[in-house]
Amino acid sequence: MGPRSSRKGVQADEFPILKENGLVIHKIEADGNCLFRALSDQLYGHSEDHLKIRRDIVEQMRANPDDYNPYFAVGFVKRNAGRRAARAGPVDSQAASDAKLEENFRAHLVKMSRPRTWGDQTELKAFVQEYKVDVTVWYPRWKLTFPAEHGKSSRVQVQIAFNENASHYSSVRHVSSDHPSVSYVKATTEKKSEINKSVATSAADTLNKKRKSDVGNTRKDNAQEDDSMKRVKRRKVQPVKKALSQQRKKLIELANTRFVG
């Protein structure tokens, strides 16, 4: 399996779907680690962390065997495998199948732990679960997406290509960008723009509401203060008027009083 991919190599013509979507192949070394190198390039911008990704994938599978055992299913043991076997008693086909399946699974993990061992869709599934990212695999004329969660799309969209004739994985990048995570860059840029607009609008609305509220509260406070002052004035004036009236009466009475002497 020799290297057949390059940024502007011959594989560009082998993947017409990439050209239609403004994408190009990015060269990945064909050394048996191509899947892990392509994933490393997508996450980190280079392929040198492929061994770390391989280890993480193996540990993900080892920690969650029930999610990956079905990929290593084997046939059932025959119950009636001849008269001698029949006389020995019935064989539990389910137990025998599970035991073989477990054996195959453990052997696969040992093999996959070794560098230069080819990975496939089972390892892609484990990668998706371990790193919580979506992976889209581009084939010459179609694509297949492994979602991180059912019905949901993650922020990071890893893009790789698979050449079935060469059994080789490559990284995929946008024709006008060197950034590896194509959809992530586009989605993030658009999302940031939308978020900024939303935040700016929200901030403006909040400020306007606050200003209106402050103006309303000020007017309300002024009105309350005016009413309060009027009430105070009424309370002060009325007693004075009343007091003056009584004094006046007394003066009048005093003036009308006849003195004897």
Residues in CB range of 114: below 8 A, 6 or more apart: none
pLDDT at 100: 85
Q: Which of 124, 103, 115 is nearest to 61 (CA)?
A: 124
pLDDT at 220: 63
Q: Which of 213, 111, 117 is nearest to 167 (CA)?
A: 117
Q: Are 128 and 134 in contact (CB under 8 A)?
A: yes
pLDDT at 160: 97
pLDDT at 47: 96
pLDDT at 191: 40
Categorise residue 124: left if φ over 0, alpha if ψ from -120 to 50, beta otherwise. Answer: alpha
Please list the pLDDT of the chain residue by residue as tens digits (261 residues). 433 433 333 355 789 999 999 999 999 999 999 999 999 999 999 999 999 999 999 999 999 999 998 887 754 333 333 333 433 444 444 554 788 888 999 999 999 999 999 999 999 999 999 999 999 999 999 999 999 876 566 668 899 999 999 999 999 999 887 766 545 433 334 443 443 444 344 445 545 555 666 656 666 666 666 666 666 555 554 444 455 566 666 666 666 655 444
pLDDT at 210: 53
Radius of gyration of the chain (CA): 42
Q: Are 9 and 27 in contact (CB under 8 A)?
A: yes
User: What CATH number is given for 11-179 in this structure?
Assistant: 3.90.70.80
pLDDT at 177: 79
| Helix axis angle, 50-63 to 93-112, nearest 10° | 160
In the chain, where are the structural domains located? Answer: 11-179, 181-253
In this structure, what DSSP letter does residue 69 have?
Answer: G
Question: Cα dihedral sign for 197, 198, 203, 205?
Answer: positive
SS3 content of the chain, % helix, strand, coil (to 5): 60, 10, 30
Type and span of the H or E element at 212: helix 182-256
pLDDT at 202: 41
pTM for the whole thing?
0.59
